[in-house]
Amino acid sequence: MEKKKVLLVVAGGRAVPDVLALFYVQPQIVIVITSEEGWGGEDAFVEIATGRPNHEFLDFIRNVNAYKLNECMQACDKTASEIVRNVFAEADYQLEWVFAIGSAPKIPGIAAYEVAKKRGIPCLVVDTLHEKFVSLVRDVETDFDVKEQELFHPDVSSYMRMQRRMYRIHKEKIANYRAIVEGWGHIAQVLALSSDIPDFTFTMHDKKAGILVPLSPDLNGSPLLHTLEKYKVIEVKSNNKGQQFCAFTSSDAARFIGTGDWLEVFVWHEARAAGFADDCQWGYEIIDGRAENELDLALTYKAQLLIGECKTDYNPFRGKRNYLDTLDSNAHLLGGHFVTKLFITNQPRAREGNEAFKAQADKRRIVVLTAEDLPNIREHLEREAKHPTYARI
């Protein structure tokens, strides 16, 4: 007989304990009980609960009086069972119940425990302060392959497994190339902090190695070119009229600088150097059916995910709403409101269209970081991980 796991969540506070219970139990069916006061974490929880590939059913029992023990017990016992029974016939499925009371108000939490004890159902308490799962009545049976401690501090790979998402290194950023450019953090930093980089990357965008490209007079004598030449990723030549030409010295340098990978590597290096993240990755992709969705940056902090889209277009704001749509779509696959979203560019705020772009980003709960923010990118990343502009819970 097929088994289906049912998670009954008695909710009322922060969404984090309930999301962790969801990750731990991995249920197909979720019932949520909330009081008359409502639940601030509802939107974040619903997006994660319904976005998982194994999700089958979610329903709410609302407006339970949080100060009447019998009413709370009845909601946990009879009403929840009837909801599930009406959708999934118990004759066809063996239902495995787990109660979760990590964010429950006191009396509903007691009520859930009493019902769980009467019915011999595991009653899960998530202690986020001490990073423990405590199962009352009896242990939770789970075949999930992530260890308990990993649920509180998952790396990016573990987070993807929690979300049941396929995740791999981007097909164009593998093997020797990654090993080489991850060692070019110093070059990425030079590029990120140079005022000449917008003009230079515009000129050298998608140029192949060895092809001489004429440089604008504004770049003549640029300290940026001198430094990049010193690091042997470009060579600069002049003709008898004094005009300068530039060429990449290798295909790796051409890809790194010419396609904008340097910005991903810069942000990745800075995030790692900041030291707050549980894990930080760049240049991966999520597989959603036949679609391949690139993640320029993926960072985990205390079971929560931060993703970034890094763009080096000369003007990433004008007519580029699809960048925001892509970032929003990726977040939807990985937890919706529970995910912090960053759009990061090396272009200045003064570019045409920035205000309209920022307004569209605000509607999607996306933080926009521009050239002015790059010198302090470590602080920006840590702030958004710990105290996000758009609350995750």
Q: Are the CB atoms for 310 and 296 separated by under 8 Å?
A: yes
For 2-148, CATH number out of 2.70.180.20, 3.65.10.10, 3.40.50.10770, 3.40.50.1370 equals 3.40.50.10770
Say what the pLDDT of residue 1 is: 63
Q: What is the DSSP string of 65-94?
A: -TT-HHHHHHIIIIIHHHHHHHHS-TTTEE
Query: Domain residues of the chain, as ranges?
Result: 2-148, 168-173+260-386, 184-258
- Overall residue count recorded for the chain in this entry: 393
Q: Are the CB atoms for 216 and 199 separated by under 8 Å?
A: yes
Q: Which amino acid is located at 106 in the chain?
A: K
Say what the pLDDT of residue 91 is: 56
For domain 168-173+260-386, is the CATH number 3.40.1350.10?
A: yes
Give me the helices (H) in 120-250, please.
148-152, 156-162, 175-181, 185-193, 197-204, 223-230
Q: What is the pLDDT of residues 11-26, one digit of tens each?
A: 987 888 999 999 999 9
Q: pLDDT under 50 in the chain at which residues?
A: none
Say what the pLDDT of residue 82 is: 85
**Which residues lie below 8 Å from residue 195, measured CB to CB, with a gap of 6+?**
none
pTM of the model: 0.85
Token pair for 206: 């998608």
Query: Exposed, middle or buried by CB within 10 Å (0-12, 13-18, 19+), for 201?
Result: buried
Q: What is the pLDDT of residues 289-343, one digit of tens each?
A: 777 888 999 999 998 899 999 999 989 998 767 899 999 999 988 988 889 999 9
Percentage helix, strand, coil, to 5, in the chain?
Answer: 40, 25, 35
Say what the pLDDT of residue 92 is: 65
Q: What is the pLDDT of residues 162-204, one digit of tens each?
A: 888 888 888 777 778 999 999 999 999 999 999 999 899 989 9
The CA distance from 117 to 97, in Å, is 12
Say what the pLDDT of residue 90 is: 55
Say what the pLDDT of residue 89 is: 61
Token pair for 16: 């984090």
Residue 129 to residues 139, 250, 269, 301: CA-CA distances in angstroms? 21, 50, 29, 14
Indicate the SS3 state at residue 195.
coil
CATH number of 184-258: 1.10.10
Token pair for 327: 């970032």
Count the helices and strands in the chain (H runs, E runs): 16, 15
Sheet of strand 279-288, all strands in order from the earlier edge strand to the far edge: 166-169, 279-288, 291-301, 304-311, 339-345, 366-369
The CA distance from 120 to 83, in Å, is 20
- Establish how many alpha carbons lie within 13 A of residue 139's alpha carbon, considering only the half-sphere containing its beta carbon: 3
Query: If residue 291 lies in a helix (H) or strand (E), which one and from where to where?
Result: strand 291-301
